[in-house]
Amino acid sequence: MSNNTPKEMYLEMLKKAILFEIWLEHEPGATKENRFQGLDWPLIAHSMIGRIRMNHLHQLMNAVVNNNIEGDFIETGVWRGGTCIFMRGFLKVNGITNRKVIVADSFEGLPEPEARCPIDETSKFHEQDFLRVSLPEVISNFQKYDLYDDGIIFLKGWFKDTLPTAPTNKIAIARLDGDMYSSTMDALTHLYPKVAIGGFIVIDDYSIGYCAAAVTDFRNAHHITDPLVTIDSTGVYWKKTK
């Protein structure tokens, strides 16, 4: 992704700031390899997706723009907002005004397991206070990068309630980071029909059994045969071709 144009230099610096790479020695317990792979839960950084998945997202956004794929960018499950901040920075530095970044989260952590998704029964994600990041905190993080503007739409609430009426008609990139079966299936069910042909679906947590089961069930139910491509040890994606 290295390029010496001002735009690319800005985006590279934005990644380093969001991932806290520049000051990594000051983040307790962090290592360069874990941050690169996205294997840690950072105490300070604004994203936990790591450098490999962040670089890959950059590649997908470039592909969307270069191939004139219509649609907005959405992330379901944003934590501290770092990935959406990078999406907004990408659009802004490229002067793109006809796409929005939709920031979808409960901003209250993950939901408790529900009877409608028995596979989630053993999930303890809802007990993880570390995963609860409030909307004001995420807004504050956008402001720190001077990227809090009308190019962002915040969608607060449980996915089953908010995504059916998500304020977008077409999606170019749907980045799903919900960990659980229910969260992943709700996002796929309500967003996939809006993903443009040539657009991308990114699954952040495919290494988690709940999430992988939802992806498999959804793809089988809808006869999706587009190749599921590995990004790193946990992330996968596919390109919608039909």
- CA gap 192, 15 in Å, rounded: 27
Is it the case that residue 183 has pLDDT exceeding 70? yes
List pLDDT tens digits, range 64-75. Answer: 999 999 999 999
Is it the case that residue 1 has pLDDT exceeding 60? no
Residue 116 lies in a domain: yes
Residue 30 lies in a domain: no
Say how many domains are in the chain: 1
> Which backbone phi and psi does 100 adopt, to 5 degrees?
-110, 160
Residue 222 lies in a domain: yes
Could you give the percent of the chain with pLDDT greater than 70?
A: 99
Q: How confident is the model at residue 2 (pLDDT cuts 50, 70, 90)?
A: low
CA dist 31 → 36, 40, 79, 227, 231 (Å): 9, 9, 20, 32, 20
List pLDDT tens digits, range 123-181. Answer: 998 988 889 999 999 999 999 999 999 999 999 999 999 999 999 999 999 999 999 99
Residue 57 lies in a domain: yes
Mean pLDDT for the chain overall: 96
Is it the case that residue 36 has pLDDT exceeding 70? yes
Residue 58 lies in a domain: yes
Residue 3's pLDDT is what? Answer: 67
State pTM to two decimals: 0.95
Residue 203 lies in a domain: yes
Residue 37 lies in a domain: no
Domain that holds residue 103: 51-239
CATH number of residue 98's parent domain: 3.40.50.150
Nearest to 210, CA basis, from 129, 134, 114: 114
b/e string for 151-166 if b means 16 or more Cβ within 10 A?
A: bbebbeebbbebbeeb
Q: How confident is the model at residue 7 (pLDDT cuts 50, 70, 90)?
A: very high
Mean per-residue pLDDT for 11-31? 96
Any idea what DSSP says for residue 4? Answer: -
Residue 11 lies in a domain: no
